[in-house]
Amino acid sequence: MKKLSILLILIFILSVNSFAQELRCNITVSSTRIQGSNKNLFRTMQSDLYEFMNNRKWTDHV
């Protein structure tokens, strides 16, 4: 019973601090193992993923 109480308290404390967070990601797409690949396609994909993850408004908080 004591372990359950401690676990519930920890879950509550951790959940209070994680309500809203924005992301700041670095994305790297590596195409070195793919033979005959279009390198420009992978650069574009990397750029698009970076823009999506970092410029999307994930919360309503300022």
Per-residue confidence (pLDDT) for residue 18, from 0 to 100: 56
Domain ranges of the chain: 21-62
Per-residue confidence (pLDDT) for residue 15, from 0 to 100: 65
Per residue of the chain (62 residues), give pLDDT as tens.
Answer: 788 888 888 777 766 555 556 778 898 988 888 888 788 988 999 999 999 988 888 777 76
Cα 24–chain centre separation: 8
Per-residue burial over 40-57, b if 16 or more Cβ lie within 10 Å, else e, is eeeeeeeeeeeeeeeeee
